[in-house]
Amino acid sequence: MLFESLLAGFQLFLTPLAIGLTFIGILIGLLVGAMPGLGPLMGIILLLPVAIGLPPVAAMGFLIAIFVGGSCGGSISAILLRIPGTPLAAATLFDGYPMAQKGRAADAIGIAISASAIGGLIGGVVLIVASPLLARFASGFAPPEYAMLAVTGLFAIAIISGGSLIKGLVSGCFGLLLATIGTDEFSTGYRFTFGSHHMLNGFHIVAVVVGLFAISEMVHQIVGDDLLKKPDIKVERPGFGSLLTTMRHWVNLLRSSGIGVFFGALPGAGGVISSFSAYAIAKAAAKPDERYGEGAEGGVVATESANNATVGGTLVPTLALGIPGDASSAMLLGALLILGFVPGPILFEQEPQFVGGIFLVYMASNVFLLIAGILATPFFVYVLRIPKFYLIPIILILCSIGTFALQASVFDLMVMFGFGLVGILFRAANYPLAPIVIGIILGPILENNLRRALLISREGYWIFLDRPVSATLVCVNVLLLTGALYFAFRNRKRLFSRQES
């Protein structure tokens, strides 16, 4: 079955459009990843309006390549400027920047790109093997299991997204509330439309996400004090010999990639946790003469291989269960829904050739990452020298054009700017934005399956405890919430004791 899917996927992937867009997506991903303040999520958001008008495999190849390239691109600015382009690369500067200070910037970038590509390929192998097995297991799921699985995804994202547990849950519930706007699928009644025909189908997910993330981020950058700053950086193009240097650390490479896949498969964990965990374990296992923190090659290998292996890991529950692991995979999930595909066991059963095409574009993305990353590094360095004063207006124009082009609707522009204001207010109050997106994506899944479960139940809510898998998920949700409340209470108690002392 798997082999047949891959063969069928070759027919969809081996087209000039799909291959070309995958390569272009890698270049765009590296670019947005290298520019501090953007990152893979922003790249996916900005170019989602372009992708949804393309053939499905080409569209997903384009967006997945941006995800893959963006997860690696942050290492370039981390190594050269000591400013990680994305939070994913925060651990890379521990050894990447000291290497650059010693005159080995090109080597550090080459190792980072090589480790990312290999880690991504390892994550891809796990994706190809594990996601069909997980989908087959989930094929026996009924509405109670899907409802509880959606709750698990919401809890996990809210708990691990950073900051206060309560704030994470509030953001997630706000996303759930947004998901209820529009026409009720069961009763065909109108909910929260306020008499506007524009809101009969709810808010377009792209307009909401562009406003929440892109507009609010640009405003955050504008109020900064480095709009006109022009970094003075020089670097030679890294060579493909960096691949051999990286392979000398094969034990570290395999171990860190495994860590990345593991944390990627956990909803809400993501690349930041995996990269720091991989670095800590690599440092603990290293010999004293490797001098981690002073420019050790193994430090860059550990963090970057874990980063990109996380991408493969996070796509496993996204494709097999329809549960996104982070905000970027949530946008990929949204793209699948817009293109007319329903993630989960149905996707693997009814569209095996499309699934095979996704597997192939992901593997090709990591191969292209190695080639494009090494050859195009001087271009990314040049872009890093451009002050934000000139880049921000271009990004704002692209946001507006892309959002308007979705449905040729001025209302979508109003939604974008309205949620831009919401994003600014949430940032100011330190509320995470990712749970809002997860809530919007998982809201319909939760509501529809919850109502279906109750319709077929003869004992009300007991149906969620009558079925073994559903009951297990209920226990997992209770443990997640109880554990998070316990740790939040303990941390607050420690904070108060410190203040009193």
| Residues 369, 113 contacting (CB under 8 angstroms) | yes
Q: Which residues contact 359 (CB under 8 A, 6 or more apart)?
A: 5, 6, 9, 124, 127, 128
DSSP annotation of 497: H
pLDDT at residue 65 in the model? 92
62 residue type, one letter? F
Nearest to 156 by CA among 70, 259, 263: 263
pLDDT at residue 232 in the model? 61
Per-block mean pLDDT, blocks of 10 residues, the chain (501 long):
70 86 90 77 82 86 90 79 69 78 80 88 86 75 79 69 72 87 79 81 80 80 70 67 81 85 69 73 75 77 85 83 76 84 82 86 90 82 72 79 77 89 90 80 81 81 82 83 73 67 58
442 residue type, one letter? L
Nearest to 124 by CA among 470, 410, 359, 324: 359
Q: Measured between alpha carbons, how far is 475 from 468 in angstroms, rounded to an integer? A: 11
Nearest to 416 by CA among 262, 221, 219, 267: 219
**Can you give the C-alpha Rg of the chain in angstroms?**
22
pLDDT at residue 491 in the model? 67
Q: List alpha helices for 180-249, DSSP H.
A: 205-209, 216-222, 241-247
Phi first, then psi, for residue 183 (nearest 5°) are -90, 130
| Residues 99, 78 contacting (CB under 8 angstroms) | no
291: left (phi over 0), alpha (psi -120 to 50) or beta: left
pLDDT at residue 495 in the model? 64
Task: Please spell the DSSP secondary structure of 405-457, one letter per residue.
Answer: HHHT-HHHHHHHHHHHHHHHHHHHTT--SHHHHHHHHHHHHHHHHHHHHHHH-
Nearest to 238 by CA among 117, 121, 112: 112
Q: Measured between alpha carbons, how far is 62 from 22 in angstroms, rounded to an integer? A: 5
pLDDT at residue 470 in the model? 84
* Location of structure tokens 């297991």: 137
pLDDT at residue 157 in the model? 65
Q: Measured between alpha carbons, how far is 100 from 82 in angstroms, rounded to an integer? A: 10
Task: Determine how many CB atoms are found less than 10 A away from the CB of residue 382.
Answer: 10
Percentage helix, strand, coil for the chain under 3-state DSSP, each rounded to 5: 75, 0, 20
333 residue type, one letter? L
pLDDT at residue 123 in the model? 87
End-to-end CA distance of the chain: 64
Q: Measured between alpha carbons, how far is 338 from 181 in angstroms, rounded to an integer? A: 17
Residues making up the chain, counted from first to last: 501
CA distances from 263 to 31, 276, 309 (A): 25, 11, 9
Report helix, strand or coil for 191: strand
Phi first, then psi, for residue 190 (nearest 5°) are -100, 135
- Compute the CA torsion angle 300, 306, 307, 310 (nearest 10 deg): 170
Beta bridge partners of 183: 190
| Residues 117, 366 contacting (CB under 8 angstroms) | yes
Q: Measured between alpha carbons, how far is 103 from 96 in angstroms, rounded to an integer? A: 11
Q: Which residues contact 254 (CB under 8 A, 6 or more apart)?
A: 122
pLDDT at residue 2 in the model? 62
Strand 190-191 to 182-183 pairing: antiparallel
| Residues 324, 268 contacting (CB under 8 angstroms) | no
DSSP collapsed to 3 states, 390-402: HHHHHHHHHHHHH
| Residues 433, 213 contacting (CB under 8 angstroms) | yes
Q: pTM for the full model?
A: 0.76
pLDDT at residue 384 in the model? 67
| Residues 140, 271 contacting (CB under 8 angstroms) | no
Q: Which residues contact 161 (CB under 8 A, 6 or more apart)?
A: 168, 171, 268, 432, 434, 435
| Residues 68, 369 contacting (CB under 8 angstroms) | yes
| Residues 138, 320 contacting (CB under 8 angstroms) | yes
